[in-house]
Amino acid sequence: MHDKEKIKEALKERYGGIAREDRNKEDNNDQSADCCSGGGGGCCDGSAVETNIETKIGYSEEDLNQDTADASFGLGCGNPKAIASLKPGETVLDLGCGAGFDLLLASREVGESGYLIGVDMTPEMIEKAKANAAKNNLTNIDFYLADIEDLPLEDNTVDVIISNCVINLTPDKEAVYREALRVLKPGGRIAIADVLKAKEMPEKLMADIKNYIECIAGAITKAELKRILTELNYSDIEIKTKANSDEIVDSWSDEYNLSDYIFSSYITARKPGETSKPNKPKPEVSPEEYAKLANALGNSHRIEILKILAAQPADDRCMVGNLVDKLPISQSTVSQHLKILKEAGWIIGQTDGPKVCYCLNDNTANQFKQLTDSLLS
């Protein structure tokens, strides 16, 4: 068994080298080579790529366009987006994000109201990922230089975790899945492509650290992975062999028939709890509408009314009489202020018999949160 720290240092050197090599090619305008060739070197070799490697592991021609070209190194064994069922507004975390390829694809699904997070332990890859995000004008994305066994994120903050042929590289896989569970929101899910072990590998293969850092020797069995996920209390666990797994893994070595020992898999599971709700897309608001909203706040009593409504429970509505009891003004004046706020779009009213009840307009309040934070304090 290789020392954990030696493995991590070897990983940093290997993938840092791939990023540096790519940067040098860019500097020299050399587009002739990429990484992950067939005929030796594992999924993460870093030599010239087969032209169809990305389509072989599950990406479409639409995925592989000029927007993602600089982020695609072929460092994978599947397409996690294909099993993630991403929705607009979701927060997506990529474990071992590399140059950001899968996050660029995810951005098309979650939209501007979503949030993207990449974690990688290699400084050169993080630098490359940030550059690729900037090229694609993504502002709803952050990258962290960190170990996926110890995520720099708060509890219960992520809707979906994706990862592509990375977790097999980590010395402590249980720690990775424990951290993933911690940061997932209740009902959140994992959608992972990874290599698993079919049977014990030859001692010679296992002894070479090169085979560990190239997605081969570090794989665990399906049974071991299921045990980890079950003991950590994941639900809805599914582990499936990728349809063309043999074709993928056998292209990684001339010396071994790797499909005898490992296979490419898709792994999905959930964190128990109510399914998390994605962020709502922000509505477009014209300058005229913005001015109308801002002008409606030009009165201290209207600001007080909004404070009162903001303090109401989400499903509760407030009648005029309730507001009169809390304000030093007449009912007719309160009604006039409510009319102005309603016309401006700050509040909505609903008839309850002869009475009208009011609450904040959620869309408008969210769109102008910064404005309300400053003016309603």
Instruction: Indicate if the pLDDT at residue 27 is higher than 80.
Output: no
Cα atoms found within 13 Å of the Cα of residue 31, Cβ hemisphere only? 5
Residue 69 — pLDDT band, cuts 50, 70, 90?
low
pLDDT digits (tens, 9 = 90+) for 82-114: 999 999 999 999 999 988 999 999 999 999 999
Topology at the third CATH level for domain 287-375? Arc Repressor Mutant, subunit A (1.10.10)
Q: Residue with structure tokens 């769109």?
A: 367
pLDDT at site 234: 98
Distance CA 345, CA 336 (A): 14
User: Using CA atoms, how far apart are residues 187 and 156, in angstroms rounded to an integer?
Assistant: 10
230 vs 64, more confident:
230
pTM score, two decimals? 0.68
CA atoms within 13 A on the CB side of 58: 24
Domains in the chain: boundaries: 4-270, 287-375
Of 349 and 102, more confident? 102
User: Given this model, what pLDDT does residue 376 score?
Assistant: 45
Average pLDDT over every residue of 364-370: 54
Q: Is the pLDDT of residue 30 over 70?
A: no
What CA–CA distance (Å, rounded) separates 167 from 170?
Answer: 5
Same fold, 4-270 and 287-375: no
Percent of the chain with pLDDT over 90: 38
CATH classification number, 4-270, choose in 3.40.50.150, 2.40.160.10, 3.30.930.10, 3.90.1640.10: 3.40.50.150
pLDDT confidence of 79, banded at 50, 70, 90?
A: very high
Tens of pLDDT, residues 104-150: 999 999 999 999 999 998 888 899 999 999 999 999 999 999 999 99
Q: What is the pLDDT of residue 332?
A: 84
Q: Do 193 and 80 touch, CB atoms closer than 8 A?
A: yes
**52-61, 280-289, 315-324, 355-364: which range is least confident on average?**
280-289
pLDDT tens for each residue of 288-327: 766 777 777 778 888 888 888 777 765 566 767 778 788 8
Three-state SS string over 102-113 comes to HHHHHHHHHCCC
Q: In which band, very low, low, confident or very high, does the pLDDT at 335 lie, cut at 50, 70 and 90?
A: confident
Sequence-separated contacts (24+) of 336-344 with Cβ below 8 Å:
337/299, 337/301, 337/302, 337/305, 338/305, 340/296, 340/299, 340/302, 341/296, 341/302, 341/305, 341/306, 343/292, 343/296, 344/292, 344/293, 344/295, 344/296
